[in-house]
Amino acid sequence: MPITTCIFDAYGTLFDVASAAREAAAEPEFAMIAETWPTIANDWRLKQLQYTWLRAITGEHTDFWEVTGNGLDWALERAGLAGEAALRERLMALYWELSAYPEVPGMLDTLTSAGFKTGILSNGSPEMLAGAVKSAGIARHLDHVLSVESVGIFKPAQAVYDMVGTAFDCAPNEVLFVSSNGWDVAGATGYGFNTVWVNRAAEPVDRLPHRPAHVLDDLTAIPDLARTF
């Protein structure tokens, strides 16, 4: 069956999660992270993801904004910066308007011009996603922006992937699902989506029951790939 619908994870896939720390580090008042921002960004992202998994397992859901703040607090404490309130405030503000990867607007424009339906399926809260989408200027290219807050559990729970069929009235095998997270791609593959892992860092494939159908190093080729089904 041909692909009708292209669904994207948001954070790390469309939006550069390292951009908040990178941009703060370039500002004179936050020169204290000029050398350490990559480690802070990595720790922040890792803890953010770990907390979503643990909350999903334990049934203690909260929104992604709180999880994001919790992850940042851990990362700053590890870096010896737990008392830097202004830095924390600035990093959280920048996360609200993360930079999109440079190929994103053109890629989405090509997809929608070709007649594909497009959307986001994300752990992010509706307010966070609205901020990022507005900042990136890509709202007109998205039919739906779907947040896990509608079902109250984080990915890779099946209830999250169910949201795509409900919103787009499509079967799983009509969906091309794109994520930079190997665990997310594994969950989506097991669900029945056609999957793409955007592996910008050239990492090994996760040792999980399901593997990505396709691996790309950025999003540029997504429109061509969608047409091949």
E strand residue ranges, the chain: 5-8, 117-122, 144-147, 175-179, 194-198, 214-216
Active-site residue 16, yes or no?
A: no
User: Residue 188: enclosing H or E segment and its boundaries?
Assistant: helix 182-191
User: Which strand (E) or helix (H) includes residue 95?
Assistant: helix 85-95
The answer to whether residues 145 and 133 touch, using CB atoms and an 8 Å cutoff, is yes
Indicate which residue of 9, 16, 43, 184 is catalytic.
9
Active site residue ranges: 9
